Structure 1
Amino acid sequence: MTLMPEGAVVVKRIALAAVMAVAVAGALSSCVRLVQNSFDDRHEVTETVSTVRLQNGSGNVVVRSRDGAGSTEVRRKVEYPKDADKPTGVTHRLEGDTLVLDGCGNRCSVNYEVTVPSKDVKILGDNSSGDVTLDGVASVEISVGSGNATVRNVAGVVRVDNGSGDVIGSDIGGEFNGKVGSGDIRLSKMSGPVMVDNNSGNIDVEMAAVRPVRAEAGSGNVNVRVPQGAYRVEVEAGSGDKNIDVKSDPNASVELVLRSNSGDLTLRAA
């Protein structure tokens, strides 16, 4: 075995330390470049708003209803790079009775917090990157590219398509249709029919009424809890255990379908 001279070892250590220092400096430089400016503002929309449409490229969106509010309030936080000019003007607009929430361009994000004065407002549209929280509205039809989607206290139909992130729903009166590429689906106090499809992640559904449920997972566990009632049950597990304590009634009009290619299936009655 050939031994390295002591001086060479010292030189090697110094060189390694220099490389590490450069790497750390580069990382810190990247962090500095990512530091952003931001500002907050508030706007009041006095016109009637019956629909809110999401067209935000990047940023979180919260829309909630508040009884007694006389107008629609739009609060926002705009974030942009330190080496860029401060964005000017508003990023929302009215198209008839539809309030449109736009983005602010490349390398810029808008976080919205909108309060509407009525629970009769419909929500639709897309949010490319960021969490979406909707509470106390009439109906929902949204697509999220990346981020969690939370929907609560909705009397009507809810449709959510999420590429990457969780879908959370509670107190939904109408039909719920959810699709997730990667993330979990968690639903509670569901009074309408439920149809959910999850490519990679778990599904957990708690029903508040005797309604149809179709829950399908590519890879993940499926857990469904239903009230006492008559159900026609169909379960299919490619690789996983089946824990079913709801008896199937072939004459029942309400169907429960649970499927998972890889994961456990659990069906319980309250």
Structure 2
Amino acid sequence: MVVKRIGLAAVVAVIAAVALTSCVRLVEHGFRDQHTVGDRITEVRVDNGSGDVTVRGRADGTATSTDVRRFVGYPKGGAKPEGLFHRVEGTTLVLGGCGNRCYVDYDVVLPSTDVRVTGGNGSGDVRFEAVAAVEVDLGSGDVALKQVSGPVRLDNDSGDLEAADVTGDLVARTGSGNISLSGMRGAVTLESRSGDVDVRMAAATSVRAETGSGNVTVHLQPASYRVDVGTGSGDQDVAVANDPDAASELFLRTSSGDVAVRVAQPAP
């Protein structure tokens, strides 16, 4: 019986430790503030351990500085984090974290859309809107992209990906989570271990999508395509003929799930 009691105490201790380290948001203190960065910024580098990050460009010409809004959360009984966690290195704005027992949510508004976003976030949702390019590695969290004028490279272990109005090529790898893309004008390359994939193209460019488990649906613009579609188990409904000489490629794979390809009707 003594052994059982010791085991139970150990389990309780482990649960308490996990609650303190990974569930800070459940019981927390926190504060909000806002800061202005007057330096010219051409890149935002995310270097945050935990927290949501939003970066938005602005092209109306009404501002010349960058606004950095943040929420800092920390557990009850913990020391209040002090100081700034963002900094400027040359023309790069670095969004840093605050340590192990706290998290920082960032909301950054830039005076220009000619800014690239790089770096990584350990956990938390990210949203990048009206920027020039995106190249990030993420641990977990949902990703939202909108109005990206250049290329996107994204690596996310867990979380949904939603993107709209991307002009450059998009390359994304996700461990688990659904992928939904619309208004894609560059080539699309997707790899997912698990999750549904839905792609809506705004230009006649190549699409490569592979998922271990999930349905794959692609809406193409009218054009000729080199078509290579395969499913381990599932139905195929492909409304485009294979043209071996076509410049654009359509390569779709799912181990378990259906594949459907649709072609948009030409404008009258």
State the SS of the aligned residue for 1:248: coil
- Alignment correspondent of 1:227: 221
State the SS of the aligned residue for 1:90: coil
- Alignment correspondent of 2:83: 89
- Alignment correspondent of 1:46: 38
Deviation by residue 1:155-214 (Cα, 9 ceiling, x = unmatched): 100011110001111100000001110101110000000000010111110000000000
For 1:70-219, what aligned pairs fall within 5 Å after superposition?
Answer: 70-219=64-213
Q: Name the aligned partner's letter for residue 75 of structure 1.
A: R
- Alignment correspondent of 1:66: 58
Deviation by residue 1:83-142 (Cα, 9 ceiling, x = unmatched): 111111001001111000000001100000000111110100000000000000000001
Counterpart CA distance in 1 for 2:208 and 2:27 is: 45
Gaps of 5+ in 2: 1-11
Instruction: State the TM-score, normalized to the length of structure 1.
Output: 0.87
Instruction: State the TM-score, normalized to the length of structure 2.
Output: 0.88
Counterpart CA distance in 1 for 2:102 and 2:197 is: 34
Counterpart CA distance in 2 for 1:121 and 1:164 is: 26
Give structure 1 regions of 4+ aligned residues with deviation exceeding 6 angstroms. 30-33
- Alignment correspondent of 1:246: 240
Q: Name the aligned partner's letter for residue 143 of structure 1.
A: D
- Alignment correspondent of 1:3: none
Counterpart CA distance in 1 for 2:208 and 2:158 is: 21
- Alignment correspondent of 1:36: 28
Aligned length: 244
Q: Name the aligned partner's letter for residue 209 of structure 2.
A: A
Counterpart CA distance in 1 for 2:137 and 2:162 is: 14
Q: Name the aligned partner's letter for residue 44 of structure 1.
A: T
**Percent identity of equivalent pairs:** 50
State the SS of the aligned residue for 2:137: strand
Question: What RMSD in Å do the two structures reach over aligned CA positions?
Answer: 1.7
Q: Name the aligned partner's letter for residue 222 of structure 2.
A: Q
Indicate yes or no: 2:230 matched with 1:236.
yes
Higher mean C-alpha deviation, range 95-104 or range 249-258: 249-258
State the SS of the aligned residue for 2:131: coil
